[in-house]
Amino acid sequence: MGHILDDRQKQVSIAGANERTIDCNKASLAGSVSQRACVFCGSRVVLYPIVDALHVIHGPIGCAAYTWDIRGSLSSGPELHRLSYCTDLQERDVIFGGEKKLYASIIELIDLHKPKAAFIYTTCIVGVIGDDVEQICRTIEKEKGIPIIPVQAPGFQGSKKDGYKVACEAIFTLVGTKSKPFTPAKSINILGDFNLAGELWILLEYYKKMGVHVNATITGDGRVDDICNAHNAALNVVQCSGSMNYLAKMMKDEYGIPSMRVSYFGIEDMSDALYDVARFFKDDDMMDKARELVKEEFTKLIPQLAWYKERLTGKKAAIYVGGAFKAISLVKALRLIGVQSVIVGSQTGTTEDYELIKQLCDEGTIIVDDSNPVELSHFVKEKQADIFIGGVKERPIAHKIGLGFCDHNHERKEPLAGYEGMLNFAKEIYATAMSPVWKFTK
């Protein structure tokens, strides 16, 4: 594969063809045009959906401007998270320090918005000029009486995945700081759903039907007070494990809360997510309700999916998404509608994720970690994919070479999680694969 840089050869593997464990979890190769962002980005996307907190970026304007209202994380209440605040460091601040500016910014914004907490993100440049952000946060915390949490996220201090960890640490400082008067015994925290296109609300409905109390949602439609009380839940249900496993682990160590890994994409994984929770609580009534719910949804959904499967069978898909766990669900969901996954890749997958993908996928499927436009465009041509599933940066790669595209990232406007999400997914794949416009691209 001559189009793969020598230093990246080990980050590509073929299902069935070689036993090599994929090399992952490493820094992107300079000059490779990685699709990944940075530590700051990782922390920002995870914390962003906490809707009643103030998010202030201490750094240059770009970091703030490019992450303004970046995710379609919906709120059922406050929308403070959708505002972008920045100290907009200037040359004189770089020389003389930006501490005073940061202090004044946080104070004025707290006075303006009266938030429940504030997250203060540091960026590359603050990592270099050495502003004592933690000290400023402590001072203001005393002054204003709300949690002011430094998020140490200089972009160069690792990859996007390290940013997830930084975000988990920031969230963890809130956990256990306050207890609500009463938290039901059979309550869970939902970790790693970001309420894109209102997906969280679909899940809440399912759990409600089963009689499960959802305590804190971290971070989709997230509230500071709920997160403070997160330690009183009986179980952490973790999706997007790449970003949230670390928080679950810290909560296990500190508060003894067990966790389980789930996915809400595709009907098998979605149903397991409900059954596993019922199983955890050893509650027959809950299990019956889950079965009833699944049965009801299946009765509606299966005939509809069959319609799509009949028409989509034989289509081939390329998947390149942020987290590998989502990629696994997507492979299964696509199979359900007759679509074969011929390329599966992610920005931040782990060895275990990739091994699982290898076992799951058909022989010959290309599996890739931290890919780039040159590789991806070669792969889709080589495997003759019809559809690409990815995010904003993958869309033009697909479109320029005549592939359908499905946005499974931050900016989606239709929910793709849950049973109705599965139907939306099928509809979107159908709409992109079967469009008449492809006759002009042949």
Which residues within the stretch 76-95 sit at the binding site for another protein (CB under 8 A)? 83-95
Distances (CA, A) of 423 to 57, 132, 205, 333: 38, 50, 17, 10
**Does residue 365 interact with another protein by CB under 8 A?**
no
Residue (349 or 421) nearer to another protein, CB: 349
**Does residue 220 interact with another protein by CB under 8 A?**
no
**In sequence order, which ranges of 313-401 are alpha helices (DSSP H)?**
324-336, 351-360, 373-382, 395-400
How near is the Cβ of 99 to another protein at its closest, in Å?
A: 12
How near is the Cβ of 66 to another protein at its closest, in Å?
A: 4
Half-sphere exposure of 211 (CA within 13 A, CB side): 15
Relative orientation angle of helices 39-47 and 160-172, to the nearest 10 degrees: 40
Given the rule CB under 8 A, which of 62-70, 204-212, 228-236, 423-431 is the region that contacts another protein?
Answer: 62-70
With contacts defined by CB under 8 A, how many residues of the chain interact with another protein? 76
Q: Which of residues 136-155 bind another protein (CB under 8 A)?
A: 154-155
Q: Which long-range contacts (CB under 8 A, 24 or more apart) does 279-282 make?
A: 280/234, 280/235, 281/186, 281/212, 281/234, 281/235
Provide the residue count of the chain. 442
What sign results for the dihedral spanned by CA atoms 261, 428, 397, 338?
positive
Q: State whether residue 68 is helix, strand or coil.
A: coil
Contacts of 94 by beta carbon, 8 Å cutoff, 6+ apart: 125, 129
**Does residue 125 interact with another protein by CB under 8 A?**
yes
Residue (56 or 273) nearer to another protein, CB: 56
CB atoms within 10 A of CB 313: 11
Strands (E), 134-240: 148-152, 187-193, 213-219, 235-238
**Does residue 128 interact with another protein by CB under 8 A?**
yes
Selection from 139, 77, 152, 151 nearest residue 110 by Cα: 139
Q: Which of residues 287-326 bind another protein (CB under 8 A)?
A: none
**Does residue 373 interact with another protein by CB under 8 A?**
yes
Residue (113 or 291) nearer to another protein, CB: 113
**Does residue 120 interact with another protein by CB under 8 A?**
no
The Cα–Cα gap between 24 and 8 comes to: 10
Distances (CA, A) of 110 to 76, 167, 316, 430: 21, 21, 51, 47
Q: Which of residues 159-198 bind another protein (CB under 8 A)?
A: 159-160
Find the binder of another protein among 362, 400, 431, 435 (CB under 8 A): 400
Given the rule CB under 8 A, which of 67-75, 138-146, 298-306, 350-358 is the region that contacts another protein?
Answer: 67-75
Find the binder of another protein among 16, 17, 20, 68 (CB under 8 A): 68
**Does residue 28 interact with another protein by CB under 8 A?**
yes
**Does residue 32 interact with another protein by CB under 8 A?**
yes
Site string for another protein, 41-60 (x = CB under 8 A): x--------------x--xx
Q: Which of residues 5-24 bind another protein (CB under 8 A)?
A: 5, 7
> Could you tell me if 323 and 350 are in contact, meaning their C-beta atoms sit under 8 angstroms apart?
no
Q: Which of residues 95-114 bind another protein (CB under 8 A)?
A: 95, 101, 104-105, 108-109
Residue (85 or 430) nearer to another protein, CB: 85
**Does residue 63 interact with another protein by CB under 8 A?**
yes
């980050």: which residue's tokens? 11
**Does residue 34 interact with another protein by CB under 8 A?**
yes
**Does residue 382 interact with another protein by CB under 8 A?**
no
With 0-12 / 13-18 / 19 or more C-beta atoms within 10 angstroms meaning exposed / middle / buried, residue 295 is exposed
How near is the Cβ of 156 to another protein at its closest, in Å?
A: 4
